[in-house]
Amino acid sequence: MNKFKQIIFTAAILFTAAVTSGCRDDGRLPDEGLPMPATGASSPTVSYETEETTESTAPVTIVTTEKTKRTAASETTPELATTTTMSSDQSAESEVSTVPDVPNVPISEFTSTTALEPSASVSETTTVTASSSSDKSTDSSSSGTDKKSESVLSKESDSTVDDEEEPEYEVVKLSGEREIERPYSYNQLNEKQLYIYDAIITAVEHYNTNVPISTLMEVKAEDYCEVYQQIYNDEHSLFYIDTKMQYAVNSATKHIASAVIFYKYSEAETLKMQKEIDAETDKIIGMITPEMTDYDKVKLFYDYLAENVVYDESAKNCRDIYGVFADKRAICGGYSKAFSYLCDKVGIETITVTGDADGQPHMWNMVKIDGQWYNIDVTYAVTDSVVGSYVRYDYFCVPDEMLSSTRTVYPQIYSYPKAISEDCSYYVKNGLVADSWDDVRQMIKNQIIKCSQNKEMVIQVKCSNRELYEDATARLFGAAEKQAIGIFEETLSEAANKYDCNAINYSQDDTSMVIKLFLKYID
């Protein structure tokens, strides 16, 4: 726990330099190439295909390039929910406190660490005036909302907020009813957290800027920040709320009396953007047929996002559902929120999970199918390879155990459910889990024959245990045997469309224990 806090606190205060790109380097060194017999006029080659890049190999060699995986690690700063509080020490009237150490802030999803500057100091009458943030990532001039700059707190009235009425706003609603109204986390909150959550949601749904907080609830700053953070993570339809927030604290009781919501767009802009989101999501959900199971629907959403949305860390809205459905550009946060958004619409329960993947900040999902929870990572489904684009299923409905060696989950204000089943794993569902070397050989041959019928390029097998995985990869690609070449040559006569046996690209994932080979067809 201390390690997590140290990471979060350090990132919030000191993380100003650019970090590494989104590609992972696991330090693997290329295998030494060994000569092998020629077959036909030329000698075949085997090259290691990463999940994002391929490097061509020299003749009669095997090259294993470093693996790469996508994370959201190239951001220059973490995106934090920045707050302004009133100092309880009246002698320090101009003091403004930021809250960089709010627990459970996911480093991967935040960019604002700029402290808010007060336009007026805290006075003896406890009048607090908060100005908008100078954070460059937010254009406050385009918000178009009624941002009240003052919250008046009175000791005599127990810090009640100003009585000025809010202007009327039309409620921003989705087209149609959502089957799941609130995320999994909502039902795990205690009474005080539920009160804060509902107060924020009510304000946001009416596009109000002020969130009145009853002093009877005795809400502390950390309570409010934790709940706001959870809303930002899990209420995926609220793509228009800012990462920045403000609240006013009673100097006597140290409890919050009111808070301010900031919006990234005007109400008119938000409504227009929502229509674009609705058009795309309606199209996707329109692909569902009556006979589809929940598994089928989950796979449909997974495939669609992987095939149609480009991984792009530079995209303006890459962290939210608008970036996914309108711009078709996203990073892990965008993919995860869009996946949950689609599942919400058809009544499938999901969770967005924040943590580290291979040492880099990341976000993925949990999904509930037929009463069982699974981990699912749409970001890792996206490929960008010179052999062609395809959908990866290595992280489709997998148990916690598979991720335990490479991922760390950030603590939240609620507990995640356990994922122990493999029943909905892509490889289990499709009979692609090998228990022996003979299974590996036969599955590869069967898939070559099947894929060649429609010129599909990816052959894939999952090994049921670590020992088999290491043995199979050594036999298939190791310099001593290179049996992948022999399997390709043996099966060529049975293939409906002929492929090149002289150049074999492959990839392997040490975490999922999945082996892939790629067919290159001869026109």
Per-residue pLDDT, 85: 35
Q: Helices 221-234 and 191-205 sit at what angle, rounded to 10 degrees?
A: 60
Residue 335 has pLDDT above 90, yes or no: yes
Spatial distance between the Cα atoms of 157 and 252, rounded to a whole number of angstroms: 12
* Overall average pLDDT of the 331-356 stretch: 96
CB atoms within 10 A of CB 35: 10
Q: Helices 437-453 and 466-477 sit at what angle, rounded to 10 degrees?
A: 60
* Overall average pLDDT of the 254-264 stretch: 92
Q: Are 146 and 209 in contact (CB under 8 A)?
A: yes
DSSP string, 43-60: --EEEEB-SS-B----TT
| Cα 200–Cα 258–Cα 6 angle in degrees, nearest 5 | 75
Spatial distance between the Cα atoms of 439 and 448, rounded to a whole number of angstroms: 14
DSSP string, 344-380: HHTT--EEEEEEEETTEEEEEEEEEETTEEEEE-SGG
Lowest mean pLDDT among 320-334, 382-396, 423-437: 382-396
Q: Which amino acid is at 266?
A: S
Residue 18 has pLDDT above 50, yes or no: no
Q: Are 298 and 397 in contact (CB under 8 A)?
A: yes
Helices (H), 426-519: 426-429, 437-453, 466-477, 483-491
**How much of the chain, in percent, has pLDDT values that exceed 70?**
65
**How much of the chain, in percent, has pLDDT values that exceed 90?**
57
Spatial distance between the Cα atoms of 163 and 127, rounded to a whole number of angstroms: 14
Radius of gyration of the chain (CA): 27
Band (pLDDT 50/70/90 cuts) for residue 465 is very high
Spatial distance between the Cα atoms of 111 and 97, rounded to a whole number of angstroms: 18
> In this structure, what DSSP letter does residue 504 have?
E
pTM over 0.85? The answer is no
Q: Which amino acid is at 30?
A: P
* Overall average pLDDT of the 463-489 stretch: 94
127-130 vs 150-152, strand pairing mode: antiparallel
The closest alpha carbon to 457, from 495, 509, 412, belongs to 495
**Residues forming beta bridges with residue 152, ordered by sequence position:** 127
Tens of pLDDT, residue by residue over 77-122, are 233 333 333 333 322 222 222 223 323 323 223 222 222 232 222 2
Lowest mean pLDDT among 82-86, 315-319, 495-499: 82-86
CB atoms within 10 A of CB 286: 8
The three state secondary structure string of 98-145 is CCCCCCCCCHHHCCCCCCCCEEECCCCCCEEEECCCCCCCCCHHHCCC
* Domain-wise residue ranges, the chain: 29-68+431-518, 121-265, 270-425
* Overall average pLDDT of the 201-209 stretch: 94
> In this structure, what DSSP letter does residue 178 have?
-
Spatial distance between the Cα atoms of 253 and 248, rounded to a whole number of angstroms: 12
Residue 484 has pLDDT above 90, yes or no: yes
Residue 237 to residues 207, 228, 232, Cα–Cα distance (Å): 13, 14, 10
Spatial distance between the Cα atoms of 141 and 473, rounded to a whole number of angstroms: 57
Per-residue pLDDT, 386: 67
Per-residue pLDDT, 48: 63
Per-residue pLDDT, 50: 53
Tens of pLDDT, residue by residue over 160-192, are 334 434 333 333 333 333 478 899 999 999 999
Residue with tokens 């336009």: 119
Task: Classify domain 270-425 at the CATH topology level.
Answer: C8orf32 fold (3.10.620)
Per-residue pLDDT, 69: 52
Tens of pLDDT, residue by residue over 418-447, are 999 999 999 999 999 999 999 999 999 999
Question: How many residues are recorded in the chain?
Answer: 523
Tens of pLDDT, residue by residue over 24-81, are 333 322 222 222 333 334 455 566 655 543 333 333 233 333 343 555 433 332 333 3
Strand order in the sheet with 118-120: 118-120, 127-130, 150-152
Per-residue pLDDT, 102: 28
Tens of pLDDT, residue by residue over 113-162, are 222 232 222 222 222 222 222 232 333 333 333 322 222 222 233 333 34
Q: What integer best gives the mean pLDDT of the chain?
A: 73
